[in-house]
Amino acid sequence: MNKYYFKRIAFLFVVAFVFTACQSGSNKQSKGAFGDSDVASKVYVPPGQYDEFYAFFSGGFSGQVSVYGLPSGRLLKVIPVFSVDPEKAYGFNEETKPMLNTSFGFIPWDDSHHPELSQTDGVPDGRWLFINGNNTPRIARIDLKTFETVEILEIPNSSGNHSSPFITENSEYLVAGTRFSVPIPQKDVALKSYKENFKGALSYIKVGKDGEMSIAFQILVPGYDYDLAHSGKGKSHGWTFFTSYNTEESNTLLEIGASQKDKDYIAAVNWKKAEEYLAAGRFKTFPANYAHNTYSDATHSAKSEMLKEVKVLIPEECPGLIYYLPTPKSPHGVDVDPSGEYICGNGKLSSDITVHSFTKMLQAIKDDNFDDEVDGIPIINYEAVHAGSVKSSGLGPLHTEFDGRGNAYTSFFISSEVVKWKLGTWEVLDRVPVYYSIGHLMIPGGDSKKPFGKYLVALNKITKDRYLPTGPELCQAAQLFDISGDKMKLLLDFPTIGEPHYAQAIPAEIIKNNSVKYYKLTDNKHPYHISSEDEAKVTREGDNVHIYISSIRSHFAPDNIEGVKVGDKVYFHLTNLEQDWDVPHGLGVMGAKNSEILVMPGQTETLLWKPQRPGVFPFYCTDFCSALHQEMQGYVRVSPKDSKVPIKWSVGDFEE
Amino acid sequence: MNKYYFKRIAFLFVVAFVFTACQSGSNKQSKGAFGDSDVASKVYVPPGQYDEFYAFFSGGFSGQVSVYGLPSGRLLKVIPVFSVDPEKAYGFNEETKPMLNTSFGFIPWDDSHHPELSQTDGVPDGRWLFINGNNTPRIARIDLKTFETVEILEIPNSSGNHSSPFITENSEYLVAGTRFSVPIPQKDVALKSYKENFKGALSYIKVGKDGEMSIAFQILVPGYDYDLAHSGKGKSHGWTFFTSYNTEESNTLLEIGASQKDKDYIAAVNWKKAEEYLAAGRFKTFPANYAHNTYSDATHSAKSEMLKEVKVLIPEECPGLIYYLPTPKSPHGVDVDPSGEYICGNGKLSSDITVHSFTKMLQAIKDDNFDDEVDGIPIINYEAVHAGSVKSSGLGPLHTEFDGRGNAYTSFFISSEVVKWKLGTWEVLDRVPVYYSIGHLMIPGGDSKKPFGKYLVALNKITKDRYLPTGPELCQAAQLFDISGDKMKLLLDFPTIGEPHYAQAIPAEIIKNNSVKYYKLTDNKHPYHISSEDEAKVTREGDNVHIYISSIRSHFAPDNIEGVKVGDKVYFHLTNLEQDWDVPHGLGVMGAKNSEILVMPGQTETLLWKPQRPGVFPFYCTDFCSALHQEMQGYVRVSPKDSKVPIKWSVGDFEE
Residue B1 pLDDT exceeds 70:
no
pLDDT digits (tens, 9 = 90+) for B385-406: 999 999 998 999 999 999 999 9
pLDDT digits (tens, 9 = 90+) for A489-507: 999 999 999 999 999 999 9
Around Cβ A21, how many Cβ atoms within 10 Å? 10
pLDDT of residue B656: 60
Q: Long-range contact list for B356-361, CB < 8 A, 24+ apart? A: B356/B266, B356/B325, B356/B327, B356/B385, B356/B386, B356/B387, B357/B385, B357/B386, B357/B387, B358/B232, B358/B235, B358/B236, B358/B239, B359/B235, B360/B384, B360/B385, B360/B386, B360/B387, B361/B268, B361/B323, B361/B325, B361/B385
Q: Is residue A88 exposed (0-12), middle (13-18) or buried (19+ Cβ within 10 Å)?
A: buried
Around Cβ A314, how many Cβ atoms within 10 Å? 16
Q: Which of B8, B15, B52, B109 to mutate to test the interface with A (most CBs of A within 10 A)?
A: B109
Please report, rounded to a whole number, the percentage of residues in chain A having pLDDT higher than 90.
91
Residue A332 pLDDT exceeds 80:
yes
Which residues of chain B does A348 touch, with a Cβ-Cβ cutoff of 8 Å?
627, 630
| Residue-averaged pLDDT of chain A | 94
Around Cβ B25, how many Cβ atoms within 10 Å? 10
Nearest CA in chain A to B228: A630
pLDDT digits (tens, 9 = 90+) for A244-302: 999 999 999 999 999 999 999 999 999 999 999 999 999 999 999 999 999 998 788 99
B138 shares contact with chain A (CB less than 8 Å): no
pLDDT digits (tens, 9 = 90+) for A48-86: 999 999 999 999 999 999 999 999 999 999 999 999 999
Identify the residue with better confidence: A377 or A8.
A377
Residue A32 pLDDT exceeds 90:
no
B414 shares contact with chain A (CB less than 8 Å): yes
pLDDT of residue B654: 83
Residue B19 pLDDT exceeds 60:
no
pLDDT of residue B36: 60
Select the residue of A39, A41, A467 nearest B69 (Cβ to Cβ): A467
B314 shares contact with chain A (CB less than 8 Å): no
With a CB-CB cutoff of 8 Å, which residues 532-561 of chain A face chain B? 536, 553-555, 558-560
Interface pTM, i.e. ipTM: 0.95
A198-207 and A284-296 strand pairing: unpaired
With a CB-CB cutoff of 8 Å, which residues 204-243 of chain A face chain B? 225, 227
A246 shares contact with chain B (CB less than 8 Å): yes
Q: Is residue A192 exposed (0-12), middle (13-18) or buried (19+ Cβ within 10 Å)?
A: middle
Amino acid letter for position A180: F
pLDDT of residue A15: 43
Nearest CA in chain A to B55: A468
Q: Quick check: helix, strand or coil at residue A17?
A: helix
Tallying the residues shown for chain A, one arrives at 656
What are B505's strand-pairing partners?
Answer: B55
Cα distances (Å, whole numbers) of residue A642 to A136, A348, A565, A639, B190: 44, 68, 8, 8, 16
Nearest CA in chain B to A68: B468
Between chains, do A473 and B584 touch, taking CB under 8 Å as contact? yes
Which residues of chain B does A255 touch, with a Cβ-Cβ cutoff of 8 Å?
554-555, 628, 631-632
pLDDT digits (tens, 9 = 90+) for A175-223: 999 999 999 999 999 999 999 999 999 999 999 999 999 999 999 999 9
**Per-residue b/e over B468-477, b at no fewer than 16 CB within 10 Å?**
bbbbbbbbbb
Nearest CA in chain B to A622: B61
Select the residue of B33, B145, B626 nearest A471 (Cβ to Cβ): B145
Please give the full DSSP string across A369-399, using - where no structure is assigned. Answer: -EEEEETTEEEE-HHHHEEEEEE---S-EEE
pLDDT of residue A654: 83
- In degrees rounded to 5, what are phi and psi of residue B27? -50, -40
Q: Where in chain A is the domain with CATH 2.130.10.10?
A: 80-223+283-317
Confidence of residue B16 (pLDDT cuts 50, 70, 90): very low
Residue A97 pLDDT exceeds 70:
yes
Q: Is residue A182 exposed (0-12), middle (13-18) or buried (19+ Cβ within 10 Å)?
A: buried
Between chains, do B37 and A40 touch, taking CB under 8 Å as contact? yes
pLDDT of residue A22: 39
B322-328 and B331-336 strand pairing: unpaired
CATH of domain B521-650: 2.60.40.420
Which residues of chain B does A471 touch, with a Cβ-Cβ cutoff of 8 Å?
145-148, 515-516
pLDDT of residue A298: 79
Task: Tabulate helix, strand, coil % of chain B (nearest 5).
Answer: 15, 45, 40
Q: Quick check: helix, strand or coil at residue A48?
A: coil
Which residues of chain A does B159 touch, with a Cβ-Cβ cutoff of 8 Å?
590, 617-618
pLDDT of residue A656: 60
Identify the residue with better confidence: B643 or A22.
B643
- H/E run at residue A496: strand A489-496
Between chains, do A475 and B624 touch, taking CB under 8 Å as contact? no
What's the whole-model pTM score?
A: 0.95
Q: Which of B14, B58, B61, B619 to mutate to test the interface with A (most CBs of A within 10 A)?
A: B61
Shortest Cα–Cα distance, A369 to chain B (Å):
32
Distance, in Å, from the CA atom of A49 to the CA atom of A44, rounded to the nearest integer, reads: 10
B467 shares contact with chain A (CB less than 8 Å): yes
Query: Torsion-angle region of residue A652: left (phi > 0), alpha (psi -120 to 50) or beta?
Result: left
Please give the full DSSP string across A343-363, using - where no structure is assigned. Answer: EEEEETTSSEEEEEEHHHHHH
The fold of the A80-223+283-317 domain, in CATH, is Methylamine Dehydrogenase; Chain H (2.130.10)
Closest CA to A16 of B404, B554, B558: B554
- In degrees rounded to 5, what are phi and psi of residue A184? -125, 115
| HSE-up (13 A, CA, CB side) for residue B176 | 35
Shortest Cα–Cα distance, B50 to chain A (Å):
6
Cα distances (Å, whole numbers) of residue A403 to A338, A422, A443, A563: 9, 11, 7, 66
Nearest CA in chain B to A182: B616
Please report, rounded to a whole number, the percentage of residues in chain B having pLDDT higher than 90.
91
Distance, in Å, from the CA atom of A542 to the CA atom of A76, rounded to the nearest integer, reads: 44
Residue B334 pLDDT exceeds 50:
yes
pLDDT of residue A27: 39
pLDDT digits (tens, 9 = 90+) for B95-122: 999 999 999 999 999 999 999 999 999 9
> 3-class secondary structure for A566-626?
CCCEEEEEEEECCCCCCCCEEEEECCCCCCCEEECCCCEEEEEECCCCCEEEEEECCCCCC
- In degrees rounded to 5, what are phi and psi of residue A40? -55, -45
Select the residue of A48, A86, A633 nearest B435 (Cβ to Cβ): A48
B93 shares contact with chain A (CB less than 8 Å): no
Residue A432 pLDDT exceeds 80:
yes
Q: Where in chain A is the domain with CATH 2.60.40.420?
A: 521-650
Distance, in Å, from the CA atom of B499 to the CA atom of B473, rounded to the nearest integer, reads: 12
Distance, in Å, from the CA atom of B505 to the CA atom of B65, rounded to the nearest integer, reads: 12
Which DSSP symbol is given to B170? T
| HSE-up (13 A, CA, CB side) for residue A130 | 27
Between chains, do A51 and B612 touch, taking CB under 8 Å as contact? no
A627 shares contact with chain B (CB less than 8 Å): yes
Distance, in Å, from the CA atom of B417 to the CA atom of B439, rounded to the nearest integer, reads: 10
What's the mean pLDDT in B148-170?
97
Distance, in Å, from the CA atom of A189 to the CA atom of A185, rounded to the nearest integer, reads: 11
pLDDT digits (tens, 9 = 90+) for B54-94: 999 999 999 999 999 999 999 999 999 999 999 999 999 99
Residue A7 pLDDT exceeds 50:
no
CB B390 within 8 A of CB B325: no
Cα distances (Å, whole numbers) of residue A102 to A153, B85, B593: 9, 20, 11
What are A174's strand-pairing partners?
Answer: A167, A205
A62 shares contact with chain B (CB less than 8 Å): yes
A252 shares contact with chain B (CB less than 8 Å): yes
What are A572's strand-pairing partners?
Answer: A547, A607
B432 shares contact with chain A (CB less than 8 Å): no
Which residues of chain A does B36 touch, with a Cβ-Cβ cutoff of 8 Å?
41
Which residues of chain A does B69 touch, with a Cβ-Cβ cutoff of 8 Å?
467-468
- Cβ neighbors of B290 (< 8 A, separation 6 or more) are B102, B103, B153, B154, B155, B156, B215, B306, B307
Query: Torsion-angle region of residue B35: left (phi > 0), alpha (psi -120 to 50) or beta?
Result: left
Which residues of chain B does A399 touch, with a Cβ-Cβ cutoff of 8 Å?
none
- Cβ neighbors of B643 (< 8 A, separation 6 or more) are A188, B565, B614
Distance, in Å, from the CA atom of B619 to the CA atom of B626, rounded to the nearest integer, reads: 17
What's the mean pLDDT in B240-267?
95
What's the mean pLDDT in B564-587?
97
Q: Which of B70, B548, B616 to mutate to test the interface with A (most CBs of A within 10 A)?
A: B616
Around Cβ A2, how many Cβ atoms within 10 Å? 16
